[in-house]
Amino acid sequence: MEIASPPLKSPTTGPDAKGRRDPLDCLIVALDLPSADAAMDLANQLQGYCRWFKVGMELYYATGNSVVERLRDRGFQVFLDLKLHDIPNTVAGAVRSVTRAGASLLTVHAGGGAEMMRAAAEAASAPGAPRLLAVTVLTSIDSAHLASVGVPDLPATQVLRLARLAAAAGIHGLVCSAEEVAAVRQAMGPDALLVVPGIRPAGPSVAADDQRRIATPAEAMSRGASMLVVGRPITQADDPAQAAAAILQQMNPAD
């Protein structure tokens, strides 16, 4: 049964008198888990500490649209992170296929090129379709990785190139690391939706895992991020709710 997606809410409820935004509207918890039961169990633990969840390839390939629908039924917003990258017609068809699940955000790879992104943007213009985010350069990639695939530029240069390409193709939401978000914000303007993964909480001996370009919540938000994606620091914590609460505090620290 098709479920009409609600309009995408602003990632924030608006700044307070000091220009700060509600962290609950800016935190996306990554449900990088192998089953719907595990995902819903974690969602239950994080009730009240999270309004957005990311459903990535591992979970989506295991469950399909059903987990997106279950999260929506619980009142959560869903960021469907599939990083679509194929010929234009195939990507457009994929956008149409996932629209009925009701995700609010959906990723495509900017590296797929302008024609592919234009096809995705056209498919996403239908009622109920998710807002698209173009993935620029993964946070696990550094200059050496780029050079190994024939891109001689620094990640920051490649990110800006792909960001401008996405905007020209009709996609005004982007995924980039905290290292580039200030430059992307300056280039794309205040209305661009900039989602930043690779977030690690402040503190000594915080593991970067397989990420290369990371930042703390406060650093990413101060540089111009709209929303932050946090996975293992919350999902692998002994107390996920307490870990999420700490992230929220770091996003908007008290004076």
Q: Which one, of 155, 118, 128, 120, lies nearest residue 140 by Cα?
A: 155
Q: Catalytic annotation on 83?
A: yes
Task: Return the DSSP state at 4.
Answer: P
Q: Are 163 and 184 in contact (CB under 8 A)?
A: yes
DSSP string, 227-238: EEEE-HHHHTSS
Biggest CA-to-CA distance, the chain: 51
Query: How far are the Cα atoms of 19, 27, 98, 104, 116 from residue 122, in angstroms, in the given order?
Result: 34, 28, 14, 16, 10
User: 222 Cβ partners below 8 Å, 6+ apart?
Assistant: none
- Active centre residues (catalytic): 83
